[in-house]
């Protein structure tokens, strides 16, 4: 006869606290963290994980956050990763009119941030507000040129909310070449949707934290000793190249699923990505995740992403000898003004719970 307690814990996996997931996600989205200046988001995640018993927290020299979680078994250790760094920009040049020429951090098109409010972080610790505009922004001044101008580096500038009309006045504000720029996320929770910039990949960091909390609060530990890596250089391609122990058997990367024409993913499911620009992921681990989703009735889709790379490939390229799979919530208009739904976030977190507890 089966042990009734085991029966209960098998049939009722720990539940995700949706409100707490959304609260943390909102806080994280409102914490600026362009690649290279992701420390505030790393620190916030560290503070949140620090309240969970059983996790041993440390930082890599590159500044990523590592949480080691001892499991029911020491053999066949695993890793899970998600990234807190986001798209952003940097001052490339101070123009003679006092405005700033920019260089992009990460892969995005200028039109996706045209008109957006920003914070400029001076190296001296000062923050100045501003916005991203076309060099010929006003239709009253430039007519059709506003429409026709190519959205490229030379035609985009940052207007500071400060009195400056010369290079010197801008420098006197403490602004210099190399200062970081973060775009306003404009977070809005409406009708179950979460609309914001940078759901890539803060949605997944929140899902990972929610899954870990659910397991810990149920008084459980992962089936295998697990390393959680919150990486800080993913958007430029080398986030998880370091920080994952060399002896892990499996790495589950948690990153957004691409939604749009021709894609199988949507905002109400978690997706398993089986191939992206870097080629196929590990078939065996992907199948294991499919089976877990089916067994636990997790709403999921399987998809391939045509223009996409992940931290799993970064670890593979760095020599990681490990099975890698990729899951994550569907995010509409990725690397633009993004949106997902709570159902996809919870599905992703539940999938992680199932994976972490799977023997």
Separation between Cα atoms, residue 137 and residue 339, nearest integer Å: 27
Residue 78 and residue 247 in contact, taking contact as beta carbons nearer than 8 Å: no
Helix 283-295 with 342-357: angle, nearest 10 deg: 110
Indicate the residue among 338 and 343 with the shorter CB distance to Zn ion.
338
Residue ranges in 165-204 that form contacts with Zn ion under rule CB under 5 A: 200-201
Q: 301 - beta bridge partners? A: 271
Looking at beta carbons only, is 200 or 332 nearer to Zn ion? 200
**Structure token digits, residue 63:** 């500044």
Least Å distance, CB 255 to Zn ion, is 4
Minimum Å distance from CB 28 to Zn ion?
14
Q: Give residue number: closest CB to Zn ion.
A: 201
Largest CA distance in the chain: 82
Catalytic one of 7, 188, 217, 234: 234
Which residues have a Cβ under 8 Å from the Cβ of 28 and sit 6 or more positions away? 41, 44, 45, 84, 202, 205, 206
> Among residues 215 and 326, whose Cβ is nearest to Zn ion?
326
State the Cα–Cα distance between residues 14 and 232, nearest whole angstrom. Answer: 29
| 234 is a catalytic site residue | yes
- Written as one string, the DSSP assignment of 285-327 is HHHHHHHHHHHTT--EEEEE-SS---HHHHHHHTT--SEEEEE
CB 71 within 8 A of CB 222: yes
Angle between helices 342-357 and 199-217 (to 10 degrees): 50
Q: How far is the CB of 200 from Zn ion (least distance, A)?
A: 4
Which pair of structure tokens corresponds to residue 139?
């239709």
Specify the residue, 170 or 348, whose C-beta has the smaller distance to Zn ion. Answer: 348
Tell me whether residue 255 or residue 338 sits nearer to Zn ion (CB atom): 255
- Shortest distance, CB of residue 161 to Zn ion, whole angstroms? 30
Secondary structure element (H or E) that encloses residue 67, with its range? strand 65-69
Selected from 85, 255, 276, 313, the binder of Zn ion by CB under 5 A is 255
**Cα gap 204→84, rounded to integer Å:** 9
Closest to Zn ion by CB, 14 vs 330, is 330
3-state secondary structure (DSSP) of residue 206: helix
Which residue matches tokens 């977190």? Answer: 349
Binding to Zn ion in span 194-253, by CB under 5 A: 200-201
What is the Cα–Cα distance from 324 to 190, expressed in whole angstroms?
34
Shortest distance, position 236 Cβ to Zn ion, whole Å = 11
Residue 200 or 343: which CB sits closer to Zn ion? 200
CB of 52 to Zn ion, least distance (A): 23
Give the shortest CB-240-to-Zn ion separation in angstroms.
Answer: 11
Q: Token pair for residue 175?
A: 């602004």
Q: How many residues bind Zn ion (CB under 5 A)?
A: 3
Helix 18-29 and helix 39-50, axial crossing angle in degrees, nearest 10? 150
DSSP 242: S
Positions in the binding site for Zn ion (CB under 5 A): 200-201, 255
Q: Which residues are designated catalytic?
A: 234
């Amino acid at each position: 006869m089966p042990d009734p307690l085991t029966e209960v814990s098998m049939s009722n996996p720990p539940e995700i606290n949706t409100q707490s997931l959304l609260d943390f996600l909102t806080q994280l989205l409102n914490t600026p963290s362009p690649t290279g200046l992701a420390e505030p988001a790393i620190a916030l995640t560290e503070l949140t994980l620090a309240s969970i018993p059983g996790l041993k927290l440390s930082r890599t020299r590159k500044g990523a956050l590592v949480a080691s979680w001892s499991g029911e078994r020491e053999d066949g250790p695993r890793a899970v990763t998600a990234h807190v760094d986001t798209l952003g920009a940097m001052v490339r040049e101070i123009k003679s009119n006092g405005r700033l020429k920019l260089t992009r951090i990460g892969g995005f098109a200028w039109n996706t941030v045209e008109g957006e409010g920003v914070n400029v972080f001076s190296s001296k610790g000062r923050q100045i507000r501003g916005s991203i505009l076309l060099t010929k922004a006003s239709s009253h001044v430039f007519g059709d040129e506003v429409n026709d101008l190519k959205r490229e580096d030379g035609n985009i500038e940052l207007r500071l909310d400060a009195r400056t009309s010369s290079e010197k006045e801008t420098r006197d504000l403490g602004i210099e070449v190399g200062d970081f720029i973060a775009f306003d996320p404009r977070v809005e929770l409406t009708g179950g949707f979460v609309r914001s910039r940078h759901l890539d990949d803060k949605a997944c960091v929140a899902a990972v934290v929610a899954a870990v909390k659910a397991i810990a609060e149920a008084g459980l530990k992962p089936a295998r000793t697990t390393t959680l890596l919150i990486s800080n250089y993913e958007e430029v391609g080398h986030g998880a190249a370091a920080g994952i122990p060399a002896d892990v058997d499996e790495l589950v990367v948690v990153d957004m699923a691409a939604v749009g024409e021709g894609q199988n993913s949507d905002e109400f499911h978690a997706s398993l990505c089986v191939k992206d620009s870097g080629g196929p992921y590990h078939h065996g681990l992907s199948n294991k995740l499919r089976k877990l989703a089916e067994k636990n009735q997790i709403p999921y889709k399987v998809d391939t992403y045509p223009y996409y790379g992940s931290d799993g490939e970064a670890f593979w390229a760095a020599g990681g000898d490990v099975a890698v799979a990729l899951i994550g919530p569907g995010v509409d208009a990725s690397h633009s003004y993004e949106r997902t739904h709570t159902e996809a976030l919870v599905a992703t977190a539940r999938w992680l719970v199932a994976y972490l507890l799977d023997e």
